[in-house]
Chain A
């Protein structure tokens, strides 16, 4: 896995240039192409009674986006990077999917995308849907809600949450590809309290030992790449424990994979990755299960 091309989705309300600049640590890992995407919501220029299609409004909004992107692009061009831009009208999600495929990007960066309450109730959040519909890694960058400055490098101190599923291997591959930008990785596995509670003392110790061994093995992989890595075993509710671990170890980003689930199962049972992406104050890098 490599990250040469990044899609940076901006509504200009949440992700600004400082957010983009904070991701430039990825240049050490091969990032050399940034593609901007701004989607003007259809309702902003849609047909209205008495006025028709707001062509003038469309031209104005496109021009504003173009001026902003040119300003951002100039800085990146001068650093020898390749930059592309897409300004479109319509729904954000389908545009993200189509541009990410057209440009063959390796990483999608977006903030949380707001949806109407009613729409969210029956369709779920845009981020959840994006994670279901793409197999590309998605960085949900909630940098404005962080207490830290936007200029901090989010890739510096990673919290890598592993559940030992098939997708864990993909997650590991990606984090190793980020090794140039990463200084430290906290590797976390969370044991379910319910699961441990059912076991005898001996069995619980055995489970603990097995998981510690697996964590140590993963640490060794990072140490070989000269990245400081520490293993951590937590017990409790997975999402809560991941957040807790990230706080305890002052992580700058949470990284995890998703498991392949049916849409209905996911909607009703939920997904830890989706929930973290929606609720975590830290940036969350999610690597969807293959075949998403």
Chain B
């Protein structure tokens, strides 16, 4: 059975790009357009991996990542960050959330900065999902 990958991304062009890469590499894409919808889809669909953008309406990827990794039932799902926001900022923001009293969270399985080449994305997914 094809592995299911949830892509949380507000830009429709990037959603189409990611969806194409996923299908071409034998994965089943699931789409969400912001963090709020993303977390809902994670609970409903229990995907095998999440590709997560950061700067989005309603709920950012920073908050969604933190919520995922502090939820016992969801924390084992691997996450690949795909964003224009730098990895350094992402790590600092997670540290800042920890500083404000929240639980410490592990780093994501991979961090890809936009724009990403289709081969790099496919290879990253293959490494994690096999």
Residues of A within 8 A of B (CB): 35, 59, 66-67, 69-70, 73-74, 77-80, 82-86, 99, 102-103
Contact = CB atoms under 8 A, between A and B. Distances in A.
Contacts, number: 57
B79 interface: no
B112 interface: no
A80 B55 contact: no
A78 B93 contact: yes
B121 interface: no
Contact of A78 (B55, B96, B100): B96
B24 to A, nearest CB: 23
B84 A82 contact: no
B99 A77 contact: no
Contacts of A59: 13
Interface in B65-96: 84-86, 89-90, 92-93, 96
A67 B23 CA distance: 29
Contacts of B58: 84, 102-103
A84 B90 CA distance: 14
Given A73-B54, A73-B55, A80-B96, 20 more contacts: A66-B55, A67-B84, A69-B55, A70-B85, A73-B60, A74-B89, A77-B54, A77-B62, A77-B85, A78-B93, A80-B99, A82-B59, A82-B62, A84-B55, A84-B56, A84-B57, A84-B58, A85-B55, A85-B56, A86-B57
A83 B96 contact: no
Given A66-B84, A70-B84, A70-B85, A78 B92 contact: yes
Given A80-B93, A80-B96, A80-B100, A35 B57 contact: yes
Contacts of B13: 59
11 contacts: A70-B55, A74-B86, A77-B89, A77-B90, A77-B93, A80-B97, A82-B63, A84-B55, A84-B58, A84-B59, A85-B55
A200 to B, nearest CB: 61
A102 B57 contact: yes
A59 B11 CA distance: 11
Interface residues of B, number: 21
Contacts of B56: 84-85
A99 B57 CA distance: 9
A290 to B, nearest CB: 26
A183 B35 CA distance: 37
A102 B37 CA distance: 13
Residue of B85, B90, B93 with highest tally of chain A CB at under 10 A: B93
A74 B57 contact: no
A151 B55 CA distance: 25
Closest 9 CB pairs of A and B: A80-B96, A77-B93, A74-B89, A78-B92, A70-B84, A84-B57, A85-B55, A80-B100, A73-B55
Given A78-B92, A79-B96, A84 B84 contact: no
A10 B119 CA distance: 36
A77 B92 contact: yes
